[in-house]
A and B are shown apart, each in its own frame.
Chain A
């Protein structure tokens, strides 16, 4: 890894992009520095609090929620590289900040003359570089492209621009990062959605990205209720989805199958040939097949 001014600028860019997810205040400050459209506190809340929590555990964890195994896995990474896991070790801001810091530390350890740093102990730069690769391959790349896709469709111009810019930056990083094996979170993913599951379990599985392959946001669910002709009951997503399935399962399953197909396509097109993207695409496709079959059964039963 070489320490260069572009590397440092790249680190600062990622840190600033990450900071936008942290708080409305940071979104304003960093957003202005990045030249993004103004991001209001309401938009920030709508995206990061109500629809797309910026935590890896939500997208890679087997429970699809905050904490649990998904967070533990990221915390373990912090410990392995000798750092104390912070309060939310899998928060997007934290992860991008750590990624930037590892890059800067690797530059310093390599004796980055531009930064005026003395070379660190032999091998340190390589170790830091490897840690950075692992962070990217295991804890950033496996979920962020899909996550940013979901953010982009939430209707906030500032945050859609942020999502596009973050995606650009990640794709650029991907191009210079040595690929690793299929990430552990995907290798060890729980079983996909099963049509035989009780309604409550089905709703839980469909709103757990790692099981379904798709991200069903609150906003998207409201739209889906409209499309399926069901009422949208205010509550957490699993409750709302279960209610929709109870009201009118056929159209709801049909709408969900369409969503899954769409996500399968988006995953595949995002980075053709990328193992993680392929995995997500296949999982969404499996969900789509299952939902289509279930929708047909439901419609037949009604008919």
Chain B
């Protein structure tokens, strides 16, 4: 072939040869872990320091300008700890001083892709915060009196280990509890508690996301959605909490991509949130009406035939529903469709308009946009509506109804179950399920609760249901975060209810003031964890690490204890729990030590290097090979890059056929659920999913027969998407077994004359719950939480101007805040963001000088008064910036004025409040609070009456359906309800 017919060939050789030469050079470069194309690649990537220069990255010092003074950095990856989305950070470790100078994004992280929100770089503020806790301390006077003495870690460990050992020996397992705020890891703490044999895991989830989770769990057997926003045609967000606040970065960047391609964004949010400002359709509904809107859209899809019939036929448990609820009608899909066609007749656009206050024509237009999305419909609901209302869990259940009608489940641009987009590696040791049941967290009144009834703990302790010998809070601030914080103070200061109270925290907070021990824990750059979160159709695992430890090890040093590199005596939890467990069981006789022991060197303590080294070697598919290609061990690779993508494009897991080796002696029930006698293979990914029960012969549920093919299905009892929940029907709630609409406790019909709804479930994307106060940049960005009110309401309340003080009266007290008069909120509704109103006692530690007001807290009988003594202002410290504080406001701690509102099904605290707003009284100061805890008790009792206890509803004598998700699941026999006294007597 001549040159003229074979392109690229000439006398000098072929262009293809030249291309091969470049390919070879590129491959060799990449094999060394270096970057071939070093500049911005321009296609899909921004500019980042090339990874081969991470050992010695040079930047010019801005402070030295105009001189060109070079700064040499070692770049060490870690995982952000300032929300739960686990974005990648790169710590810039100054090679000269050995300190961290700043944090930026980690371009090697598959979830965050080098990008961060403001909270990530603000980690440096937390690290260098002059008010952070650096040493272990024990109180030196009465609880809450403000006296502290520095102690050694040995003293703290020995004291705590002694108490716990004694409690275990005396079978008081349920008197030990660890209460988590920001988890930031995947299961480590649960396994520590399992190793102790205690059911002592408590979480903040029932004041956070339980409502949202519940709606998804009853459909999927998996309690979180994973929307593929980036590939969606229509993005439908019930409130913008997740997208504007909690998971701002990974979601926002993908929504932005979708919008650039023309995707429509629909936001249901009563106030004009950051996300709503970017929406194509901003719907501002009456709070609590969101499920009605969802059902009107669903009805539109059904009645116009714009749903995916084949998907519904194949994947909904319609046959089970017809059998249970329409036994007299033919059990065919066509008959189900006839039933479905009339099932939501009530939910016309006019009905939804009447409930929501949004006109029917707009709702119809939005429904049409949704219908046009097909399988590229991504949706999300997390806090806000699902967390605000009685029955809020139906918001996410009805939301998923739309996805399930469209067939937009685990499709490109659709919504996945999170467990398919998350990777939790199996650890070196897996202790057995505890043999006890913690009634203080999992009371019988709430058999279907999604998570621990954590916010009711003070009331349960006051009820005398139990007591705590040793109570840990861990990166948690229950007094400030929970509703009814004064009741928390009452029990935390009562040593008969809480014997020893330990705060594991990097920073001072309102709860730590009342602790017996305050133990300093590391921030995101000072601790080890693995963490993975659903963000696209793929699975990755991120590694959080003490960056100075990794930097010094990279430089050739040997570090055996993270305290060697952390500031002061700040520790990390992994090493703390291992050490504490050894001291509880020094000779191994309690059976605890074995789970914290080296496998490589039996009899020796497990090190974090061995723990993570084993995990990355044995439980992360592909990582050992990838590491080996660069001449690294898997642990070395993770220390160098910080995150590993295990898979991408996993797609619809439910459609996968079950392999033959898992099918042995199978049984198929009348609805197609397939059970097998073959044991479950021990996969490396232990991501939590529900556990549908076995058949009567003990075979495990393995799949579901769909059109004659055994597919993996969903981890629900039926193996299908549960449009109708037998669990809800069987456990006393048949009226809510289908996706439906429950009128909220703040529905207009339930408001008294003069009351309005207070939304309290939103926050700003720059806030980090308790720890934002220790981030000076974030303090400067936002430091107050005014009460949003519409101009019409302001006039009605007698509030003349933005900035005027108002009293907001709740069921148990009031708070004083400033008004913000804005058109950005629906008339008849007011709103106040959480994450503000931090306070410290006048005689307590400083806490955070940039965001905590000084208050006087007084207590008389059941009445608590908090009076603002001083706001914030400039002060001298080792950080010169504290002398530059220009603001004085800190906002108001509104949560403490809310009574508890446990949803009887999900157990979620229903945050929305019915309040009255009026001008403040003379003498009121911004941030003042008054609360009557006797009224709190009454509110608790009133809501408790809504519950349907397991003792009255259980279909099988258990406390709770075993298939449901539950953190730290105890062993099977603990699920049995206690036998009533008279039965045992007889």
Which residues in A have some Cβ–Cβ distance to B below 8 Å? 5-6, 8-16, 19, 22-23, 25-26, 29-30, 32-35, 79, 82, 84-88, 91, 93-94, 97-98, 101, 165, 168-169, 171-173, 175-176
Contacts and interface: CB of A to CB of B under 8 A. Distances in A.
B19 A23 contact: no
A34 B43 contact: no
Contacts of A13: 15-16, 18-19, 22
A88 B261 contact: no
Given A34-B21, A172-B8, 5 more contacts: A12-B23, A23-B39, A84-B44, A84-B257, A97-B43
A175 B4 CA distance: 9
A29 B23 contact: no
Contacts of B23: 8-9, 12
A169 B17 CA distance: 12
B342 interface: no
28 contacts: A6-B8, A6-B19, A8-B23, A9-B22, A10-B15, A12-B26, A13-B19, A13-B22, A16-B19, A16-B22, A16-B26, A22-B37, A22-B40, A23-B38, A23-B39, A33-B26, A35-B21, A79-B262, A84-B44, A84-B257, A86-B42, A86-B44, A94-B42, A94-B43, A97-B41, A97-B43, A165-B18, A171-B7
B8 A169 contact: yes
Contacts of B946: none
A60 to B, nearest CB: 18
B20 interface: yes
Nearest to A23: B39
Interface of B: 7-8, 10, 14-23, 25-26, 29, 36-44, 46, 257, 260-262
Given A33-B26, A94-B43, A97-B41, A82 B8 contact: no
B19 A9 contact: yes
B15 A169 contact: yes
B118 to A, nearest CB: 22
B58 to A, nearest CB: 13
A29 to B, nearest CB: 6
Given A79-B261, A86-B44, A175-B7, A25 B39 contact: yes
Nearest to A168: B15
B39 A87 contact: no
B229 to A, nearest CB: 13
B39 A12 contact: no
Contacts of B20: 5, 9, 12
A34 B42 contact: no
A201 B7 CA distance: 43
A25 B14 CA distance: 26
A164 to B, nearest CB: 11
B16 A10 contact: yes
Contacts of B8: 6, 10, 168-169, 172
A85 B26 contact: no
A273 to B, nearest CB: 14
A274 B710 CA distance: 60
Contacts of A98: 43
A172 B15 contact: yes
Contact of B22 (A23, A30, A87, A171): A30
Given A9-B19, A84-B261, A25 B7 contact: no
Contacts of B17: 9
Nearest to B23: A12
Given A172-B7, A175-B7, A23 B21 contact: no
A120 to B, nearest CB: 12
B15 A26 contact: no
Contact of B42 (A6, A12, A88): A88
A23 B36 CA distance: 12
Contacts of A14: 19
A13 to B, nearest CB: 3
B36 A29 contact: yes
Contacts of A171: 7
Q: Which 9 A-B pairs have the closest CB atoms?
A: A23-B39, A9-B19, A13-B19, A172-B7, A33-B25, A172-B8, A94-B42, A6-B16, A25-B38
Contacts of B16: 5-6, 9-10, 13
B48 to A, nearest CB: 13
Contacts of A175: 7
B26 A26 contact: no
B38 A26 contact: yes
Contacts of A82: 261
A201 B39 CA distance: 37
A10 B20 CA distance: 8
Given A26-B38, A84-B257, A175-B7, A11 B43 contact: no
A24 to B, nearest CB: 8
A88 B16 CA distance: 28
Nearest to B231: A82
Contact of A23 (B10, B18, B40, B262): B40
B36 to A, nearest CB: 6
Nearest to B44: A86
A22 B413 CA distance: 33
Nearest to A7: B16
Given A9-B16, A29-B37, A173 B42 contact: no
A11 B43 CA distance: 15
Contacts of B37: 15, 19, 22, 26, 29-30
Contacts of B26: 12, 16, 33
Contacts of A8: 19, 23
Nearest to A85: B260
A29 B42 contact: no
Contacts of A97: 41-43
Nearest to B7: A172
Contacts of A85: 260
A22 B42 contact: yes
Contacts of B260: 79, 84-85
B639 to A, nearest CB: 26
B22 A34 contact: yes
B22 A33 contact: yes
Nearest to A32: B25
A274 to B, nearest CB: 15
A88 B693 CA distance: 55
Contacts of B22: 9, 12-13, 15-16, 30, 33-34
A293 to B, nearest CB: 41
Contacts of B40: 22-23
Nearest to B256: A84
Contacts of B42: 22, 86-88, 91, 93-94, 97
A97 B21 CA distance: 17
A82 B8 CA distance: 30
A97 B22 CA distance: 14
A62 B14 CA distance: 37
A29 B38 CA distance: 8
A125 B20 CA distance: 23
Contacts of B257: 84
A33 B37 CA distance: 11
Contacts of A176: 7
Contacts of B44: 84, 86
Contacts of A5: 16, 20
A26 B47 CA distance: 13
A96 B40 CA distance: 14
B830 to A, nearest CB: 39
A27 to B, nearest CB: 9
Given A22-B37, A25-B38, A10 B19 contact: yes
Contacts of B14: 6
Given A34-B18, A34-B21, A175-B7, A86 B43 contact: yes
A70 B435 CA distance: 70
A175 B1 CA distance: 14
A189 to B, nearest CB: 27
Contact of A33 (B7, B21, B261): B21
Contacts of A168: 8, 10, 15
Nearest to B257: A84
A12 to B, nearest CB: 4
A282 B580 CA distance: 85
